[in-house]
Amino acid sequence: MILVTGGAGYIGSHLVMELLKQGKDVIVFDSLELGHIETIETLRQYGNLKFIKGNLKNIDDIRGAFMLNKDIEAVVHFAAYSQVAESVKNPQKYYYNNVYGTLNLLNAMLEFGVKKIVFSSTAATYGEPVYTPIDEKHPQNPINPYGTTKLIIEKIMDDYDKAYGLKSVRLRYFNVAGANSDGKIGEWHEPETHLIPNVLKASSFKSFKMFGTNYDTADGTCVRDYINVEDLADAHVKALEYLKNGGDTNYFNLGTKTGNSVKEVFAACESVKGTSIPLEICPRREGDPAELVADNTKAREVLGWTPKNDLKYSIKTAYEWENNLKKLQNMV
Ligand code: UDP
């Protein structure tokens, strides 16, 4: 049985769906502060899913999950706050939730003898790129509290391995995009801050705001590496297999090695929608590096992982999901 924290959220729910499709038993532990009960209801249709509503900040919530489920083999830990701008304004919220919450999780794991964890880390642990594409040897100097919380957790995991033999795989995501292929689950943030959903949500009432067109890139807009969410879920499945097969603590970049500019993403969204999208050019958003592209060689070689879906496919599935989400939101 696999315990997934944050399994009612965007990326976590895609992994849960994949595990259920493979016939695995899954427990989702989620506070539903940011995740959605509707997502859990959808996931239940795919297999044997237990849901525990709990908060990692309450050690007894997570101890209870282990106490009642003695057959947990491994944990996949998504639950976290992840908005960069908010983390700058309110670091206390981020350190308390992300770092303290993870400590409770790790301590409960040790107490109940569970010693394998796959952890959602981030390209934000690297900070301002010194070279590109970014490989795992790139220095980690986060430039915001969100990235720092994830780096601190990576370091705690190293120490817990040395002292207690807790094995971790840290997956450093670049820009996650798309929704599941049948449009049943997808990105559902309130408020939404990410590029693709914001372009797709734009209308004549609310134009899309493009943040900065004077970067030192080919077309002046920021370049990012958009990794499809189902490919990302597949990397987690492979990371679990790696640990199950006795793999040591390790860390991997998850991206495609291809960069796309904000203008390119915008044009691809217009092409998928088949209409022009109202656009407003705005000043730069604080803290956005010009370019973030992953060197994914290590994940390919060690995990045997290959991303399969391109940006256009991610945008198509995101668009289908946006349409389904509107229906869901009208119902709730
Ligand atoms: N972006 C934008 N308008 C938006 C949201 C994002 O122009 O409404 C830009 C943002 O400035 C960045 C890129 O799109 O250059 C990707 O931003 P996102 O928030 O999706 O991911 P991040 O790279 O911050 O993790």
Q: Give whole-number Cα distances, 258 to 121, 149, 242, in Å.
A: 20, 27, 26
146 catalytically annotated: yes
Contact 87, 149 (CB under 8 A): yes
Top mutation candidate among 86, 208, 223, 224 for ligand 1, by most atoms within 8 Å of CB? 224
Q: Which domains does the chain have, with CATH numbers?
A: 2-176+227-255+294-308 (3.40.50.720)
Name residues contacting ligand 1 (CB within 6 A): 175, 193-195, 198, 209-211, 222, 224, 262, 285, 288
**And the tokens for 319?**
């668009």
**Whose CA is closest to atom 5 on ligand 1?**
195
**Whose CA is closest to atom 3 on ligand 1?**
210
Using CA atoms of 192, 325, 320, 312 in order, give the dihedral in degrees to the nearest 10. Answer: 10
Counting DSSP H helices and E strands in the chain, the numbers are 12, 14
pLDDT, one tens digit per residue, over 23-76 is 999 999 999 999 999 999 999 999 999 999 999 999 999 999 999 999 999 999
Q: What's residue 321's pLDDT?
A: 96
pLDDT, one tens digit per residue, over 225-274 is 999 999 999 999 999 999 999 999 999 999 999 999 999 999 999 999 99
* DSSP secondary structure letters along 92-130: HHHIIIIIIHHHHHHHHHHHTT--EEEEEEEGGGTBS-S
Ligand 1, atom nearest to 282 Cα: 7
Q: What's residue 331's pLDDT?
A: 63
pLDDT, one tens digit per residue, over 142-191 is 999 999 999 999 999 999 999 999 999 999 999 999 999 989 999 999 88
Is the model's pLDDT at 332 over the cut of 70? no
**Whose CA is closest to atom 14 on ligand 1?**
195
Question: Confidence class of residue 329 from pLDDT cuts 50, 70 and 90?
Answer: confident
Pick the closest to residue 305 from 250, 246, 224 (CA basis): 250
Ligand 1, atom nearest to 211 Cα: 7
Which of 10, 94, 146, 173 is labelled catalytic?
Answer: 146
